[in-house]
């Protein structure tokens, strides 16, 4: 593995498992100092144990005080930030007729408000380093799935943010891109309120719609994130890269 991220500092939200974990390990393997955050210390510890370049902080990005704590941690221990990966998210699977406003509030709080809040707090550091932002979106913004309207709505907002922020921040040397994540083997479906049989039915239905015929791996997303965060993508901003086995084509 090369060292394209030597002397770079990256922050990744929701990095205890799945995509965030894979991105953290890829960046650390390529030389970055990586700070990961999430709510579950045990999974954060497992991710951090994989590479000496990874440190963690237990934080809930829905809480302003935890975001402020994270900013202070970066300032005190690293003094800079080059890469922000907004990965934390929640994907409820609920028919619209059964949606409760508490679910709406939760998914928009995690996927939209918290993303905006932490990005605003870290923007001064990113401007100083002429760094870049990678937002995790979803392919269902392009290929809509029944029963996921709340999730799709949050990711549509993230894609619009990505493109407008890219135009606004270009003059500051900050690049902003998004990854339209397809069906990836992660624990995300286990965090829904579906039964085990409901999860299997949902996954089977999605798999049949993927031209390549299978789910992707978190490492597939990490590879594209590593490209977008690197100097190889110096002329790439405002783009949304679909990593989905052809699902969104």
Q: 131 CB contacts (<8 Å, ≥6 apart)?
A: 81, 82, 83, 84, 125, 174, 175
| Residue partners of 223: CB distance under 8 A and separation at least 6 | 26
Rounded alpha-carbon distances, angstroms, from residue 72 to 67, 121, 192, 247: 9, 10, 33, 40
Q: Which residue has the tokens 């949304």?
A: 240
Go through 75-87 and write b for each residue having 16 or more CB atoms within 10 A of its CB, e for each that does not: eeebeebbbbbbb
Contact indicator for 175, 165 with CB cutoff of 8 Å:
no
The residues that are catalytic are 151
Supply 135's token pair: 């937002």
Cβ(159)–Cβ(240) under 8 Å? Answer: yes
Which element (helix H / strand E) includes 21? Answer: helix 18-29
């Amino acid at each position: 593995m090369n060292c394209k991220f030597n002397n770079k500092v990256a922050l990744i939200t929701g990095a205890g498992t799945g995509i965030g974990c894979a991105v953290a390990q890829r960046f650390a393997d390529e030389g970055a100092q990586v700070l990961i955050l999430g709510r579950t210390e045990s999974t954060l510890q497992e991710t951090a144990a994989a590479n000496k370049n990874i440190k963690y902080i237990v934080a809930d990005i829905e809480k302003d005080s935890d975001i402020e704590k994270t900013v202070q941690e970066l300032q005190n221990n690293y003094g800079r930030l080059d890469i922000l990966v907004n990965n934390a998210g929640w994907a409820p699977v609920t028919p619209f007729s059964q949606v409760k406003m508490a679910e709406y509030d939760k998914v928009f709080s995690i996927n939209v408000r918290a993303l905006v809040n932490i990005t605003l707090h870290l923007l001064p550091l990113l401007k100083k380093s002429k760094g870049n932002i990678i937002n995790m979106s979803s392919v269902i913004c392009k290929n809509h799935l029944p029963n996921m309207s709340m999730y799709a709505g949050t990711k549509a907002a993230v894609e619009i943010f990505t493109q407008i922020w890219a135009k606004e921040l270009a003059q500051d040397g900050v690049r902003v891109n998004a990854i339209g994540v397809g069906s990836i083997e992660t624990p995300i479906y286990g965090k829904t309120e579906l039964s085990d049989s409901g999860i299997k039915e949902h996954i089977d239905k999605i798999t049949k719609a993927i031209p390549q015929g299978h789910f992707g791996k978190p490492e597939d997303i990490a590879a594209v994130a590593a490209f977008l965060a690197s100097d190889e993508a110096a002329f790439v901003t405002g783009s949304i890269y679909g990593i989905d086995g052809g699902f969104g084509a």
